[in-house]
C-alpha cells in the first residue's frame, strides 16, 4: 500500500498494526505479526527514521503518529525530493547535451561513422547509419539494454525495425527495460507493441516526459541523438566510462519514478496526474502549447486542453498567475518558475 512512499512491507505492517492496536506492547505486536524481536526492531527504527513513530513522555514504548499527520508529511517530503530530482535530471541533461555536441564538433565527420577502434565517441550521420549501428549493438548486447523512447506515439517503421531485435535479445536472456511517455497509452499501435514487449518478459514503464532519446547497452556503450529534438539524423555512440555512468544514473532515476505499463496511473494527494504536474512545470517555465505538446509527446490540442483544465482548477487567467497559484498550493516549487 505504502511501498511507493519508501516503506518496506514489514514496516508498513507494523505501522498499520500499531494504529489498529495502539495499546498493545511490543511482545504482543511481535506475536501478532509473527516476527522476532530483531525484525520488529528494524521495522521500528525505519518508522522512527521517517517520523511515523514517536515517543511520548510518560507513555511506554513508541506510538504510531496519526496518518493524516505522519503520512501527509512523508508524502510532502517525497514530492519535494521528486521535484529536486527532476531539476537535477534537467540540469544534467542540458550539461550532457552540451558536452556531446562539443565533443562531436571537435571531430571530423567525413563519413557516416568516423570512429577508430580506441575512440570513446563515434558520430553517426544519416538514419541508415544510425539504424545499422543500433542493430549491431542490439545483437551484441549480453545482459541489459535500457532505453528512453520519447515522442509519444512511435512510427510504424521504427516499431517494425525494433521487433526482431527486441525479441532476439529477450530470448537470449537480456534484461530489456524501456521507458515510454504516458501518451503512448492513447496510441494503439505503440501501446500494443509495448504490451507485446511485456508479454515476452521485457519491463516497460511510462512517465510524463523524457529528457532525451537514448539506448544504453550493458552499461558500456550508449547511443544518443546529437540534437535532442525529434527527427534528427545525427547521433553519438559513446563508450566513455564517466558519461555511461551518468547516463545509467539518469535512466535509473527516471525508471524508479515511472509507472509500470500494466498499472493504473494514480493521481497524487493534490489530485494531479504526473502528466498534469509536468504541464504545470512547463507552463511555469514559459513554454508554448506547441513546445509542451512536443515535450509530452501529445497533440497540441491535448496540451491546450490539459493546460486549460489546470487554469480552471487554479482559477488563473494567465500562465504567470497559474504558476503563482500552483506554487502557493505547493503543486510545484518556486524553482519551477525560473
Q: Please tell me the predicted confidence (pLDDT) of residue 218.
A: 93
Residue 282 lies in a domain: yes
> Do 90 and 193 belong to one domain?
yes
Query: Comparing 315 with 119, which gets the higher pLDDT?
Result: 315
> Do 227 and 323 belong to one domain?
no
Task: Please write the tens of the pLDDT for every residue from 212-229.
Answer: 889 999 999 999 988 755
Residue 310 lies in a domain: yes
- The set of cell numbers assigned to 256 is 524508479
Q: Please tell me the predicted confidence (pLDDT) of residue 148.
A: 93
Tell me what percent of the residues of the chain surpass a pLDDT of 70. 72
Tell me what percent of the residues of the chain surpass a pLDDT of 90. 9
Could you tell me if 174 and 145 are in contact, meaning their C-beta atoms sit under 8 angstroms apart?
Answer: yes
Closest by CA position to 168, among listed 145, 192, 191: 145
Residue 111 predicted with pLDDT over 50: no
Residue 70 lies in a domain: no
Cα separations (Å) of 195 from 134, 203, 205, 284, 335? 22, 10, 10, 34, 37
> Do 134 and 218 belong to one domain?
yes
What are the residues facing 223 on neighbouring strands?
215, 237
Residue 294 predicted with pLDDT over 50: yes
Backbone angles phi, psi at 267, to 5 degrees: -90, 150
- Sheet of strand 144-149: strand arrangement: 121-125, 234-238, 221-225, 214-217, 144-149, 175-181, 203-207, 259-260
Residue 210 lies in a domain: yes
Q: Average of pLDDT values for 290-303?
A: 82
End-of-domain residue from the set 260, 282, 299: 260
Whole-structure pTM value:
0.54
Report the alpha-carbon distance of residue 218 to residue 244 in Å, rounded: 10
End-of-domain residue from the set 260, 286, 313: 260
Residue 112 predicted with pLDDT over 60: no
Backbone angles phi, psi at 327, to 5 degrees: -65, -40
Query: Comparing 99 with 310, which gets the higher pLDDT?
Result: 310
Q: Average of pLDDT values for 322-334?
A: 75
Domains of the chain: total: 3
Q: Average of pLDDT values for 144-149?
A: 92
Report the alpha-carbon distance of residue 202 to residue 189 in Å, rounded: 17
Q: Average of pLDDT values for 157-163?
A: 82
Closest by CA position to 177, among listed 69, 260, 291, 115: 260
> Do 219 and 98 belong to one domain?
yes
Q: Domain containing 252 — which CATH number? A: 3.30.870.10
Query: Comparing 85 with 318, which gets the higher pLDDT?
Result: 318
Average confidence score pLDDT of the chain: 77
> Pairing state of beta strands 144-149 and 175-181?
parallel
- The set of cell numbers assigned to 37 is 524481536
Residue 90 predicted with pLDDT over 80: no
Q: Please tell me the predicted confidence (pLDDT) of residue 72.
A: 63
> Do 86 and 56 belong to one domain?
no
- Kindly report each contact of residues 103-106 with a partner whose C-beta sits within 8 Å and lies 24 or more positions away, as own/partner: 103/236, 104/226, 104/234, 104/236
Could you tell me if 217 and 172 are in contact, meaning their C-beta atoms sit under 8 angstroms apart?
Answer: no
**Structural domain for 285, as ranges:** 274-337
The number of beta carbons lying within 10 Å of the beta carbon of residue 328 is 9
**C-alpha 4: how far from its chain's center?**
13
> Do 110 and 199 belong to one domain?
yes
Backbone angles phi, psi at 99, to 5 degrees: -60, -45
Q: Average of pLDDT values for 104-118?
A: 48
> Do 88 and 228 belong to one domain?
yes
Backbone angles phi, psi at 237, to 5 degrees: -105, 125
Residue 28 predicted with pLDDT over 60: yes
> Do 237 and 91 belong to one domain?
yes
* Inter-helix orientation angle 127-140/156-171, to 10°: 20
Residue 56 lies in a domain: yes
Q: Please tell me the predicted confidence (pLDDT) of residue 118.
A: 45
> Do 136 and 195 belong to one domain?
yes
Q: Average of pLDDT values for 151-155?
A: 78
Q: Domain containing 31 — which CATH number? A: 1.10.10
Residue 194 lies in a domain: yes
Could you tell me if 143 and 176 are in contact, meaning their C-beta atoms sit under 8 angstroms apart?
Answer: no
Task: Please write the tens of the pLDDT for every residue from 30-60.
Answer: 788 787 878 878 877 777 766 777 666 556 6
187: confidence class by pLDDT, cuts 50, 70, 90: confident
For the chain, helix (H) and strand (E) counts, in that order, are 12, 10
> Do 251 and 175 belong to one domain?
yes
Report the alpha-carbon distance of residue 29 to residue 13 in Å, rounded: 10
Cα separations (Å) of 184 from 151, 169, 206, 273? 9, 23, 8, 15
Residue 83 predicted with pLDDT over 80: no
Report the alpha-carbon distance of residue 313 to residue 32 in Å, rounded: 46
Residue 267 lies in a domain: no
Report the alpha-carbon distance of residue 70 to residue 56 in Å, rounded: 15
Amino acid at each position: 500500500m505504502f511501498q511507493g512512499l519508501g516503506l518496506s512491507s514489514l514496516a508498513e505492517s507494523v505501522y498499520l498494526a500499531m494504529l489498529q492496536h495502539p495499546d498493545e506492547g511490543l511482545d504482543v505486536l511481535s506475536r501478532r505479526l509473527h516476527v522476532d524481536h530483531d525484525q520488529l526492531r528494524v521495522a521500528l527504527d525505519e518508522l522512527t527514521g521517517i517520523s511515523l513513530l514517536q515517543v511520548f513522555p510518560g507513555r511506554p514504548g513508541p506510538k504510531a503518529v496519526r496518518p493524516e499527520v505522519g503520512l501527509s508529511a512523508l508524502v510532502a517530503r517525497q514530492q519535494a525530493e521528486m521535484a529536486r530530482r527532476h531539476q537535477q535530471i534537467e540540469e544534467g541533461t542540458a550539461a550532457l547535451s552540451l558536452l556531446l555536441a562539443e565533443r562531436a564538433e571537435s571531430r571530423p565527420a567525413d563519413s557516416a561513422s568516423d570512429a577508430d577502434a580506441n575512440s570513446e565517441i563515434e558520430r553517426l550521420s544519416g538514419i541508415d547509419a544510425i539504424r545499422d549501428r543500433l542493430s549491431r549493438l542490439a545483437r551484441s548486447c549480453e545482459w541489459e539494454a535500457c532505453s528512453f523512447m520519447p515522442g509519444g506515439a512511435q512510427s510504424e517503421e521504427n516499431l517494425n525495425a525494433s521487433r526482431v531485435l527486441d525479441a532476439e535479445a529477450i530470448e537470449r536472456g537480456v534484461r530489456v527495460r524501456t521507458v515510454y511517455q504516458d501518451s503512448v497509452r492513447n496510441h494503439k499501435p505503440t501501446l500494443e507493441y509495448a504490451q507485446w514487449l511485456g508479454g515476452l518478459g521485457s519491463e516497460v514503464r511510462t512517465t510524463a516526459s523524457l529528457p532525451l532519446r537514448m539506448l544504453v547497452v550493458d552499461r558500456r556503450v550508449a547511443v544518443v541523438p546529437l540534437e535532442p529534438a525529434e527527427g534528427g539524423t545525427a547521433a553519438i555512440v559513446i563508450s566513455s566510462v564517466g558519461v555511461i555512468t551518468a547516463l545509467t544514473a539518469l535512466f535509473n532515476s527516471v525508471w524508479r519514478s515511472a509507472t509500470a505499463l500494466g498499472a493504473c496511473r494514480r493521481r497524487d494527494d493534490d489530485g494531479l496526474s504526473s502528466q498534469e504536474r509536468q504541464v504545470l512545470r512547463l507552463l511555469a517555465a514559459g513554454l508554448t502549447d506547441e513546445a509542451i505538446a512536443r515535450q509530452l509527446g501529445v497533440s497540441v490540442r491535448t496540451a491546450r486542453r490539459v493546460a486549460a483544465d489546470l487554469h480552471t482548477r487554479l482559477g488563473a487567467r494567465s500562465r504567470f498567475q497559474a504558476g503563482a497559484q500552483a506554487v502557493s498550493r505547493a503543486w510545484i516549487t518556486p524553482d519551477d518558475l525560473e
